[in-house]
Amino acid sequence: MKLSVPYLGMLHKAYGPVLENAGVEIILPPRPTKRTLDLGTKHAPEFACLPFKITLGSMIEALGLGADSIFMPGGWGPCRFGYYDVIQEQILKDLGYQFTMGSAKNPDDLRDMLDMMQRIAGLRSKIGLYKLFFFVLIRMSFFDWALKKYFKYKPYESIQGKADQIFEKGVSLIEKSLSIPQLLKSASLISFWFRRMEKRNGVHPLRVAIVGELFTVLDPSANMEIDMKLARRGIEVLKSVWLSDWLNDRFRFKPFRRNQLKLSSKYAQPYLRFHSGGESIESVGKTILFKKKEADGVIHIFPFTCMPELVAQTILAKVQKDLDIPILTLIIDEHTAAGGVETRLEAFIDLLERRRRRR
């Protein structure tokens, strides 16, 4: 059994060592590149969204490396993500690949999800599986936590690259922690390093929030690393969705963390009263929330033809006017060039800086 899971942000770091420890062989294809996307685009329907194409390309690469099972959770609409697994399996089987596609009937349901994971990973004990699954989720939240810390401290570093060093060291430390006490110990170490880092005084960094579709917000292959680019320019980055929160909304592994979907929909009420799939309500709700938290600007990023985010885009146009918050819309597809995105980003930052000075 050689399992492969498509990339999504830092997810592979969370499940990799844990599953390998449990005796599952994992095939990790190289991080998605232009080649991956080209592979995906070649075989995907023309108007399929970018995450579909990237994950499809990634699957082809993994199958080329010898994977024989692929995990893609699936779902039940109204966003297209729920149908990815079926279409991808169909395309790959038509291409002649032999493999099993692991997808849950209803991935929001814990039992259904775990049944499928048991099948695909070939694990025996059910209790062990529950433990393993929740441990992966908890690890995921530590990775997200580390990245949040990084975004918070990065603008204040006085030695160039110090925060990046700490972050990288921290991530590899969390990666190696295979029990909850170890995780907690690593976390306190990371937080100690960040606190002790030499900081510049009197800096008031710009705050820019990235909202939008989950995959493009999280995965560096889809968002041209705009989060890191912003951070390196000394800007504090906020994000509307985190993978651990998204999972927590479904599986409640962090009892004290608020349900982010409900929180966003509370804030989005005056504009978007019903969740119209995907992360639309999070994009709207969190934009309003970030305005309250004094963000200077918002970047709305989503793949071309994404249905829910197009609803959000229409609504954000009004939010932008009403709340006086600049919004940059980035629509990503396979033809988007990093250079073009960078230029628009620069112009946007210039605008935010000018607004700051005027006040």
Partner 1 sequence: MIKVGVPRGLLFYRYFPFWDTFFEELGTEVIVSSPTTEVTIRQGSRLLPSDLCLPVKIYFGHIESLREKVDFLFIPRYISTELDAYMCPKLIGLPDMVLCAIDSLPPLIDFPIHCKAHGMKAEKVFYLKVGRIFSKNKERAEKAYSMGMERQSRFLTLLQFGLSFEEALDMSKSPAIPEKLKEDGRGKLGIIGRPYYVHDSFLRRSIIEQVEARGYRLLTTEVLSYQEIEKGVEKLRKRVYWSFGKEMVGSAIRFAENGSIKGIINLASFGCGQDSFNIELVHHYTKGKIPILSLIFDEHLSLGGFSTRVEAFLEMITQGKDRR
Minimum distance, C-beta of residue 311 to partner 1, in the bound complex (Å):
4
- Render the burial of 60-85: b for 16+ CB within 10 Å, e for the rest: bbbbeeebbbbbbbbbeeebbbbebb
d(CA 24, CA 18): 9
> Is there binding between residue 70 and partner 1 (CB under 8 A)?
no
Q: Decide if residue 76 touches partner 1 (CB under 8 A).
A: yes
Q: H or E stretch including 158?
A: none
Q: According to the binding rule CB under 8 A, does residue 83 interact with partner 1? A: yes
d(CA 177, CA 196): 22
Can residue 287 be called a binding residue for partner 1 (CB under 8 A)? no
Asked whether position 325 contacts partner 1 by CB under 8 A, the answer is: no
107 contributes a contact to partner 1 by CB under 8 A = no
Q: Does 89 bind partner 1 (CB under 8 A)?
A: yes
- Tell me the closest approach of the beta carbon of residue 123 to partner 1, in angstroms: 24
321 vs 356, beta carbon nearer partner 1: 321
Residue 317 found at the interface with partner 1 (CB under 8 A): yes
Residue in this structure with the two tokens 């995906």, named with its chain if needed: 40
Pairing mode of beta strands 100-102, 2-4:
unpaired
Residue 152, C-beta contacts closer than 8 angstroms, at least 6 positions apart: 194, 236
Alpha-carbon distance 338 to 332, whole Å? Answer: 10
Query: Does 311 participate in binding partner 1 (rule CB under 8 A)?
Result: yes
The two tokens of residue 130 are 């529950």
* Contact track, partner 1, 28-57, x by CB under 8 A: -----------------xxxxx--------
Residue 10 structure tokens: 């830092």
Q: Is 212 among the residues that bind partner 1 (CB under 8 A)?
A: no
| Residue number with CB closer to partner 1 (76 or 130) | 76
* C-alpha to C-alpha distance for 146 and 116, rounded to whole angstroms: 30
Work out which of 271, 286, 297, 345 binds partner 1, going by CB under 8 A.
271
The residues that touch partner 1, with contacts defined as CB under 8 A, are 45-49, 74, 76-80, 82-83, 85-87, 89-91, 94, 271-278, 280, 304-308, 310-311, 313-315, 317-319, 329, 331
